[in-house]
Chains A and B, each alone.
Chain A
């Protein structure tokens, strides 16, 4: 018995192409931005930790 089944149908995207593509682009941009923000915060943490260690 096949335990895996695609529930996705290309017709979904054909019917709602513009909303689907727009949302996909928005999601992609936000994901990239979030990644950049997290990296920035981590870098800031590292600098602050370095300063703390220097004081010690």
Chain B
């Protein structure tokens, strides 16, 4: 417990907590809109695809611009876009595609600001960015639930405005950091940087696909859905925290291997499946740290590469489905073992105090 407490009290870890909240609110607003659109058959297929494309893919370009021009405050631009898109959608003033696109861009800008803030203030540790990314899972399920309720969208506008002081404070911490080179050093130096990025993105693609492909027949009630997303969020945060405590390589390989049996045999057993989801989500911050170890001067671009991976991983879901548990199990097993092998080669040996 003492070890966890010392990680959770690391210098500048507050940026992770600040961006946990901001990320949570961003996803609440976005998934509120997506849940409202799910009732419309025209958007049932297109809205989630558009969201994945316009919220995930542009992050690499926005991130690169942010890396090159650090004086541009991506967080403020993000809030303006997000709230404009949200209000336009709520009032129905423009075509839904336009408001949804603006909302997605706001999401992308805020994600990049979160990545820049947490990676730059982390002093080479993973916990900051892991806590930041974990907030999204809690936001997704909250947004989905609120979207299916009768809640007025104006209440969520107020929630959106509450992000502003958090963004200001987080950016103050970032501005205190003078060194523009990240202290991440987890990638195997004997390997080519480009190959490390490609392989790390491949792991993200697999995780993106599996996030939807995991067999969860047990998930039938609202309460069970909440538990599923909470274990995802908890896993993402724990991945970074445990990596800082015990080493990136150990956590990456062990969590991937241990997740496999729990995911395979958890189709009808909620607790078993939840443990699997928690373990499987742990690699999120590790892949980011690996790419950031190669692109040390471009944390925004590094984060954007992971979101491109997530997009590529989720695209197949819109087109085909594996319908039997056996087929799903075979795919999950093969890809997990591949990811373990990749981690074994691209992460350098753990040297932790």
Contacts and interface: CB of A to CB of B under 8 A. Distances in A.
- Is the pairing of A and B real? yes
B177 interface: no
B107 to A, nearest CB: 15
A28 to B, nearest CB: 9
B323 A23 contact: no
Interface string B312-325: 00000011111110
B323 A38 contact: no
A43 B79 CA distance: 34
A26 B53 contact: yes
Interface in A9-30: 12, 15-16, 19-20, 23, 26-27, 30
Interface in B60-83: 60-61, 64
Interface in B35-80: 42, 45-46, 49-50, 53-54, 57-58, 60-61, 64
Interface centre among A12, A39, A41 (most CB of B within 10 A): A41
B284 interface: no
B53 A27 contact: yes
A43 to B, nearest CB: 10
A44 to B, nearest CB: 7
A10 B304 CA distance: 30
A20 B318 CA distance: 13
Interface residues of A, number: 27
B184 to A, nearest CB: 13
B298 interface: yes
Contact of A6 (B61, B97, B304, B320): B320
Contact of A3 (B54, B57, B194, B323): B323
Contact of B320 (A7, A34, A42): A7
B54 to A, nearest CB: 7
B318 A38 contact: no
A8 B319 contact: yes
Contacts of B322: 3-4
A41 B320 contact: no
B61 A41 contact: no
B169 interface: no
B326 interface: yes
B308 A8 contact: no
B133 interface: no
A30 B50 CA distance: 14
Interface centre among B46, B54, B305, B311 (most CB of A within 10 A): B46
Contacts of B58: 30
A34 B319 contact: no
A19 B46 contact: yes
Contacts of A53: none
B301 interface: yes
A2 B323 contact: yes
A33 B305 CA distance: 12
Given A3-B324, A41-B298, 15 more contacts: A1-B324, A7-B319, A8-B318, A8-B319, A19-B50, A30-B58, A33-B60, A34-B301, A34-B304, A34-B305, A39-B194, A41-B295, A41-B297, A42-B197, A42-B294
5 contacts: A4-B321, A15-B42, A34-B301, A42-B294, A45-B296
The 9 closest A-B CB pairs, nearest first, are A3-B327, A34-B60, A8-B319, A3-B324, A37-B64, A12-B45, A16-B46, A23-B53, A30-B57
